[in-house]
Amino acid sequence: MPSGPKQVSTGGAADSFVADAVNALPEGSQVTLSGAADAISPNKAGLYHVSRAGVDAMTLAAPNSGDQATGGDDGKEIQLISTTANAHTLTATGLLQTGSASVNVATFAAFAGAGLRLRAFAGKWQVLQQVGITFS
């Protein structure tokens, strides 16, 4: 009998545990982020619930360019949703394709439900959807 998505809670400032835990998860997992500076794996698709009681200053590196069959990350999606009323940030310097010149930082509105959905393509992150996000 199949089980539901695996969930992992993370905590602490810049924990290496975060990266290790996320890298060990199957694709499509749900992860709860609660650290002060969580590093999101650029190579794992999944849903991330940002639940820190204060601001989480998240980072996201470049995905591997190319088809998944040859070790690339093209097509993988990451979704980040805030579950708290805090102005979380996601820094992905020069990697966010937003449709504007603002490509470095996504700042979440200080309301639960703010979030964005990203797709890896050619070593960048395409912004597919965003709710309550300011890009800079």
Sequence letter at residue 90: L
Sequence letter at residue 20: D
* Dist. CA 76–CA 120, nearest whole Å: 5
C-alpha torsion angle, residues 6, 74, 41, 93 (rounded to 10)? -150
Q: What is the pLDDT of residue 48?
A: 95
Two structure tokens written together for 100 = 């504007």
**What mean pLDDT comes out for the span 118-125?**
98
Its sign, for the CA torsion 98, 100, 101, 107, is: negative
pLDDT digits (tens, 9 = 90+) for 75-119: 999 999 999 999 999 999 999 999 999 999 999 999 999 999 999
pLDDT digits (tens, 9 = 90+) for 4-52: 444 444 444 333 334 444 444 455 678 999 999 999 999 999 999 999 9
Residue labelled with tokens 């309550």? 132
Output 124 or 3, whichever has higher pLDDT. Answer: 124
Q: Are 94 and 136 in contact (CB under 8 A)?
A: no
Two structure tokens written together for 41 = 């794996």
Question: Domain residues of the chain, as ranges?
Answer: 7-135
* Dist. CA 78–CA 119, nearest whole Å: 7
